[in-house]
C-alpha cells in the first residue's frame, strides 16, 4: 500500500505540524490527556505486539550482553551528559537539577514506538525499557543525588503498574492476537504503522499544548540545553552501541532507548520532591524534543532500509512491516 507507506514515512512532518498547531491553539490537542494518553500508548503497543512472535523475545534473551549494554549506557551516558550540558550552558540551579533529573530517568515507552517506526530491534527496545524502569527504582534517586546533590523518591508501584499496563499487557495481547486470530491480524498489520504515527502525533501535540506557556517563557538557553541533552543521547548511544554490537538494528534500538527518557516520570518526581516548580520545566520540554528528534531519526532510518520491527534477525529487509509479516505467516 504505497499511500499508507508514504503517509507513515512523513510522520516527522505530522509531528512538527502538530507542535505548531498546539502552540497556536493548545485546545486542539489538550483534550487528549490523562488516561487517553495511556490508552493511546496501549493501542500503539498492541499494534507492535501483532508484529512480533515469541521467538523474537527468545532471541533477545540469548543476547543478554546487548540488553545490559543498552541499560548501562542509559544510566551512565545520560546523567553524565546532562551534568556537562548544564555546566557548559551555566543553567540556573533549578533548571540544572531538572535537566539532570531527566538524564537519570529510565527509557520511556515512547522509545518503543519510535523503535517500531525506525525498523529497529523492537523486542530489544521493549526489554530495555522494562529493565531500565525496574532499575530506576534504585538508580534514579541514587544518580540524581550523585549528579545533582538532591534526593528523590521513586514511586515503585506506580512504575511497575505503568509498565504492565502500557507495555506488557498490550504486547502480550498482540502476540496472542497474531497467534490465535490470524484473520484479524492480517487486517491490522497494514495500517498499524500509520495508526502509531497518528497516535504519537496527537500525544506530542497534547504535551506541547499543555506546556505552551512554559515553552514560551523558559528561554532559548534552556531549550538549547534540552535539545543538546537528547541529541547527545542519540549520538553517543548509537556510536557506543555500534562499537560493542556491530549491528545496525541493535545500534538503532539502543540509540533510541538512550536518547529518549521517561519525561513524564521526571515531571512527577520534580513536582513531588522539589519545592521550586522550575525543576519540572526541563522534563516538560524533554517530552517534546526527544519525540521530535526521535521521529526525525526514525524517518531517516526507515528510508535507509533494514529489517522491519521484530524481524531484526532472519526475516530480511522489506518495504513495510505489515506486508512482511503477512508473508512470514505460517
CA angle 104, 109, 114 (to 5 degrees): 105
Candidate ranges 125-139, 202-216, 248-262; pick with highest mean pLDDT: 248-262
Rounded CA separation 20/215 (Å): 12
Strand ranges in the chain using DSSP code E only, listed in sequence order: none
Look up residue 23 and give its three cell numbers. 502552540
Collect all residues with Cβ–Cβ distance below 8 Å to 231 and sequence separation of at least 6. Answer: 259, 293
In whole angstroms, give the CA distance from residue 189 to residue 178.
Answer: 10
Query: Dmax over Cα atoms in the chain, in whole Å?
Result: 59
Q: What would the mean pLDDT of 121-147 be, rounded to a whole number?
A: 83
| Percentage, residues of the chain above pLDDT 90 | 19
Cell of 27: 485546545
CA distance 220 to 93: 16
Long-range contacts of 177-186 (CB under 8 A, 24+ apart): 177/46, 177/49, 177/50, 178/49, 178/50, 178/51, 178/52, 178/53, 178/325, 182/329, 185/50, 186/326, 186/329
Q: What are phi and psi of 298, to 5 degrees?
A: -60, -40
- Summarize pLDDT for 183-216 with one digit per residue, the tens: 888 888 888 878 887 888 888 888 788 878 877 8
Question: 262: phi > 0 → left, psi -120 to 50 → alpha, else beta; which?
Answer: beta
Location of C-alpha cell 520545566: 281
pLDDT at 156: 58
Give the bridge partners for 78, in sequence order. Answer: none
Tell me how far CA of residue 245 lies from CA of 236, 241, 242, 257, 299, in angstroms: 14, 6, 5, 15, 23
CA distance 109 to 122: 11
pLDDT tens, position by position, 84-102: 999 999 888 888 888 998 9
Q: CATH number for the 2-310 domain, one of 3.90.1530.30, 1.20.1530.20, 2.60.40.290, 3.40.190.10? A: 1.20.1530.20
Average pLDDT over residues 122-145: 82
Write the CA distances from 210 to 16, 45, 145, 281, 294, integer angstroms: 16, 24, 29, 12, 20
Of 167-171, 207-211, 233-237, 316-320, least confident by mean pLDDT is: 316-320
Q: Single out the residue of 299, 288, 287, 294 nearest to residue 233, CA to CA.
A: 294
Please state, in angstroms and rounded to a whole number, the distance separating the CA atoms of residues 54 and 59: 9
Amino acid at each position: 500500500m504505497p499511500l499508507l507507506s508514504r503517509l507513515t514515512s512523513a510522520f516527522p512532518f505530522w509531528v512538527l505540524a502538530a507542535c505548531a498547531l498546539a502552540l497556536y491553539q493548545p485546545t486542539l490537542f489538550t483534550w487528549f490527556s490523562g488516561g487517553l494518553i495511556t490508552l493511546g500508548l496501549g493501542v500503539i503497543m498492541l499494534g507492535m505486539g501483532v508484529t512480533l512472535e515469541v521467538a523474537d523475545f527468545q532471541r533477545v534473551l540469548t543476547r543478554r550482553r546487548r540488553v545490559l549494554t543498552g541499560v548501562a549506557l542509559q544510566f551512565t551516558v545520560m546523567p553524565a551528559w546532562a551534568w556537562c550540558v548544564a555546566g557548559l550552558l551555566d543553567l540556573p540551579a533549578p533548571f540544572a537539577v531538572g535537566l539532570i533529573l531527566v538524564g537519570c530517568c529510565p527509557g520511556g515507552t515512547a522509545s518503543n514506538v519510535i523503535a517500531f517506526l525506525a525498523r529497529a530491534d523492537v523486542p530489544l527496545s521493549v526489554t530495555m525499557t522494562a529493565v531500565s524502569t525496574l532499575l530506576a527504582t534504585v538508580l534514579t534517586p541514587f544518580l540524581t543525588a550523585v549528579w545533582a546533590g538532591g534526593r528523590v523518591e521513586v514511586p515503585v508501584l506506580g512504575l511497575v503498574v505503568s509498565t504492565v499496563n502500557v507495555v506488557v499487557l498490550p504486547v502480550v495481547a498482540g502476540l496472542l492476537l497474531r497467534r490465535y486470530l490470524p484473520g484479524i491480524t492480517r487486517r491490522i498489520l497494514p495500517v498499524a504503522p500509520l495508526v502509531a504515527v497518528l497516535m504519537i502525533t496527537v500525544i506530542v501535540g497534547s504535551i506541547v499544548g499543555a506546556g505552551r506557556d512554559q515553552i514560551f517563557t523558559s528561554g532559548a538557553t534552556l531549550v538549547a540545553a534540552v535539545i543538546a541533552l537528547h541529541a547527545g543521547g542519540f549520538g553517543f548511544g548509537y556510536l557506543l552501541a555500534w562499537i560493542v554490537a556491530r549491528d545496525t538494528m541493535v545500534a538503532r534500538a539502543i540509540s533510541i532507548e538512550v536518547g529518549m527518557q521517561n519525561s513524564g516520570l521526571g515531571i512527577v518526581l520534580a513536582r513531588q520532591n522539589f519545592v521550586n516548580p522550575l525543576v519540572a520545566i526541563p522534563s516538560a520540554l524533554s517530552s517534546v524534543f526527544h519525540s521530535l528528534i526521535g521521529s526525525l531519526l526514525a524517518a531517516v532510518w526507515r528510508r535507509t532500509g533494514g529489517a522491519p520491527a521484530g524481524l531484526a534477525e532472519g526475516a530480511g529487509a522489506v518495504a513495510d512491516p505489515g506486508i512482511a509479516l503477512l508473508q512470514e505467516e505460517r
